[in-house]
Amino acid sequence: GGRAALEAWQRAAATMRCGEVAWVRSSAKFAFGALGALPLVPENATLWFQLEIVNIRHPGTVQFFKDFGLAIEEAERQLEVGRGDVQRKAFG
């Protein structure tokens, strides 16, 4: 459960380039499985994620979070960084 969703993201990201956006379908096997993540994700749910490669980091710099709140805070921080990059047209 949960962490396996990352496998779907990793498989998709391995085929993508920086700046590319893709929709990733993650079956329950690669998402939250039979337990789901109630109340947000029902049992045996197939999930769709929009995945965008905005930056490439070396493997040692990837962060994993056990606390969902901290993960959301980091994601929001990264979104702000990305928005700043877009505003200053950092991607040409």
Q: Rounded to whole angstroms, what are the CA distances from 77 to 28, 29, 69?
A: 29, 30, 12
**Which pLDDT tens digit goes with each residue over 19-66?**
899 998 988 888 788 888 888 889 999 989 898 988 877 666 566 777
Neighbour count for residue 5 (Cβ, 10 Å): 22
- CA dihedral defined by 42, 65, 61, 7, rounded to 10 degrees? -30
**Which pLDDT tens digit goes with each residue over 7-17?**
778 888 888 88
Neighbour count for residue 20 (Cβ, 10 Å): 13
Is 4:45 a contact under the CB 8 Å cutoff? no
**pTM to 2 decimal places:** 0.49
Within 13 Å, how many C-alpha atoms sit on residue 68's CB side? Answer: 3
Q: How many residues does the chain have?
A: 92
